[in-house]
Structure 1
Amino acid sequence: MDIRDMQIFLAVANEGSFTRAAEKLEYVQSSISIRIQQLESELKTELFHRGRQGVRLTSSGEALKSYAEKIIFLTKEAERVISDNTIPRGQLRIGSLETTTALRLPFILAEYHKSYPEVDLILKTGTTEELIHSVLKYELDGAFVSSLGDHVELDTVEVGTEELVLISGRQTAPIHHLEQLRHLTIFVFRVGCHYRRILEDWLHLKGIPAKIMELGTLEGILGCIHAGLGVSLLPFSVIERAMIKYNLQYHKISDELVNIPTLFIRRKDTYKSAAISEFIRVSKERFNDI
């Protein structure tokens, strides 16, 4: 069992198909099939259930997958450590919340790229839960999130705070009382968004039933609110900038929901390269530059 076997195994596991794995790795399908059969023979167990619709992992395959991911990551990590020096360079995979990407990240990225052009930045957006999962699975080197939870594997740095406000379109009556929310649609990001969870928990605590409508993008939420279709809970920095384009108003209706920290997370067991160290430094310095 060598590193290439692990790469082939993971490709088949992630693609759910020998054919798609072969296309991704630019191998012929027969070669992929033979390598998997040899791996199963070596380990004396079946790793995949074969079917007409593709393949899926057996219990043994699931167990191997978690180790294979670590093996591949540690191999790449070793290469990075050996080649790393005081000059940030190489690939850096960063995750970010949709709201942070829209307002905060452009200034951070511009400063970072200007200072360290040899770093190849890759960006992925998602909810807090999705980004934490990606960091834990070694799919991202670090990510901006708004909540951590109980994850002792993660190292956390607070890079700034966001003031949360309730927003509505200007054609919607000003919200002075919580009871008004009973009759309004609440626009939120998909499950896993920390802002969504804060709002839902708060409404539940106050005994206000919520009519939730889930959208996938910040622009979608702002557009619906601009049209007078409902309200949402978002950072004030987003609203301040969005008011240039959208017809919005905001309401500070609860001291409980004011300041939420934005955290940068990374795995404690990964090498802290010069590239990510400088990215954290720049993020802390430029987070409020809007």
Structure 2
Amino acid sequence: MDFQALRFFQAVARLGSISRAANELNYAQSNLTAKIRQLEATLQTTLFYRHNRGTTLTEKGKLLLSYTDELFQLLEEMESVMRDDQTPQGSLTIGSMETTAAVRLPALLSTFHRQHPAVDLTLKTGPTEQSIQDVLHYELDGAFVAGPVEHPDLACETVIEEELVLLTDTHHQPLSSLRDIENRTILVFRNGCSYRARFEDWLRYEGVIPEKMMELGTLDGIIGCVSAGLGVSLLPRSVVEKHSEATQLVLHPIPRQFGKVNTLFIYRKDQHLSASLREFMNLSLML
């Protein structure tokens, strides 16, 4: 099998265009076209539908892409294992919910950087659903997500138990039931956020239909809008407690079935645990 042809195929599949793939790889477009045609001839199948907007994978093309991604991931892992001398070094990419990154991780990241300066650590924040997919597709070495997570390819370690609280401004009337917020705007992160999903589950359980739901992109944005009286939100107590005295916030306890959530550290079961990832995980379990 021609590995270069598979690299070309992977790039075209990812970018959806032979010309864009040629520009990214710095090869002549004619070379990529020829390699793709040779690959199709070797496999005796059509891998792409060609159209005026670029290319689209056929069903056989989608199948080959999954094998190709796995093949190159295994090759990279093999090289990593061969180079690994048990000294934490090289790149390490970790995902995290924004709330965890804001409150729980600064001290951890500082300690890890101080102890292992040769590691090029990158932190990417995003909702739980996105981080899970990024770990599954080898785009993250590991990630802090909200549990529970059940996937046959993922290993999970519980690192924190969070208590969720309902967040309102100080001018909001005392809460006797969830229906007291029925006419308020619900402030949430985008879809895929576990805290948003938990809030929506609670609303459905109580039969409450909010008048409006507004998505915000940052933790500070949500806290600031709640403080200003724009709406209410559901967030971990550890995240908002330090803001409650300095800003116009009130924290309300919620039923335990919706108010407790574990923060997990996840990683692929089949991946090689580099020295860098092992050391990072060891520190994480001390949060």
TM range (shorter): over 0.9
Matched to 1:155, the amino acid is: A
Shift of the alpha carbon at 1:170?
2.4
Matched to 2:279, the amino acid is: E
Deviations for 1:18-55, whole angstroms, at most 9, x for unmatched residues? Answer: 22222222223222222222211211111111111111
Deviations for 1:102-127, whole angstroms, at most 9, x for unmatched residues? Answer: 22222221111111111112222221
Shift of the alpha carbon at 1:167?
0.7
Shift of the alpha carbon at 1:244?
6.8
Matched to 1:251, the amino acid is: H
Change in CA separation of 1:115 and 1:175 when aligned onto 2, cut-off 3 Å? same
8 Å Cα contact 2:156/2:267 also seen in 1: yes
Give the Cα–Cα distance (whole angstroms) in 2 for the partners of residues 23 and 217 of structure 1.
35
- Higher mean Cα deviation, 125-134 or 216-225? 216-225
**SS of structure 1 residue aligned to 2:201:** helix
8 Å Cα contact 1:187/1:232 also seen in 2: yes
Shift of the alpha carbon at 1:254?
2.1
Structure 2 unaligned blocks of 5 or more: none
Shift of the alpha carbon at 1:252?
0.9
- Name the counterpart of 2:281: 280
- Name the counterpart of 1:22: 22
Give the Cα–Cα distance (whole angstroms) in 2 for the partners of residues 223 and 50 of structure 1.
49
8 Å Cα contact 2:148/2:262 also seen in 1: no
Alignment TM-score, normalising by the size of structure 1: 0.92
**SS of structure 2 residue aligned to 1:272:** coil
Residue 143 (structure 1) aligned with residue 138 (structure 2): no
Give the Cα–Cα distance (whole angstroms) in 2 for the partners of residues 73 and 89 of structure 1.
19
Structure 1 runs of 4+ off > 6 angstroms? none
Matched to 1:126, the amino acid is: G
Within-5 A mapping of 1:154-233: 154-210=154-210, 211-233=212-234
Shift of the alpha carbon at 1:13?
1.1
Change in CA separation of 1:20 and 1:106 when aligned onto 2, cut-off 3 Å? farther
- Name the counterpart of 1:52: 52
**SS of structure 2 residue aligned to 1:183:** coil
Within-5 A mapping of 1:26-45: 26-45=26-45
Shift of the alpha carbon at 1:143?
0.7
Give the Cα–Cα distance (whole angstroms) in 1 for the partners of residues 8 and 171 of structure 2.
57
Deviations for 1:154-200, whole angstroms, at most 9, x for unmatched residues? Answer: 11111112111111222333434212121111111122111111111
Change in CA separation of 1:202 and 1:37 when aligned onto 2, cut-off 3 Å? same
Structure 1 unaligned blocks of 5 or more: none
Change in CA separation of 1:7 and 1:170 when aligned onto 2, cut-off 3 Å? farther
Matched to 2:217, the amino acid is: G
**SS of structure 1 residue aligned to 2:99:** helix
Change in CA separation of 1:37 and 1:123 when aligned onto 2, cut-off 3 Å? farther
Give the Cα–Cα distance (whole angstroms) in 1 for the partners of residues 245 and 91 of structure 2.
35
Shift of the alpha carbon at 1:255?
2.7
Alignment TM-score, normalising by the size of structure 2: 0.93
- Name the counterpart of 1:84: 84
Give the Cα–Cα distance (whole angstroms) in 2 for the partners of residues 29 and 188 of structure 1.
45
8 Å Cα contact 2:149/2:156 also seen in 1: no
Residue 261 (structure 1) aligned with residue 262 (structure 2): yes
Q: Percent of aligned pairs with the same residue?
A: 47
Give the Cα–Cα distance (whole angstroms) in 2 for the partners of residues 174 and 26 of structure 1.
64
Give the Cα–Cα distance (whole angstroms) in 1 for the partners of residues 9 and 33 of structure 2.
10
Give the Cα–Cα distance (whole angstroms) in 2 for the partners of residues 151 and 229 of structure 1.
38
8 Å Cα contact 1:3/1:72 also seen in 2: no
Matched to 1:43, the amino acid is: L
- Name the counterpart of 1:251: 252
Matched to 2:133, the amino acid is: H
Residue 237 (structure 1) aligned with residue 238 (structure 2): yes
Change in CA separation of 1:136 and 1:5 when aligned onto 2, cut-off 3 Å? same
**SS of structure 1 residue aligned to 2:182:** helix
Shift of the alpha carbon at 1:137?
1.4
Count of residue pairs the alignment pairs up: 286
**SS of structure 1 residue aligned to 2:191:** coil
Change in CA separation of 1:241 and 1:64 when aligned onto 2, cut-off 3 Å? farther
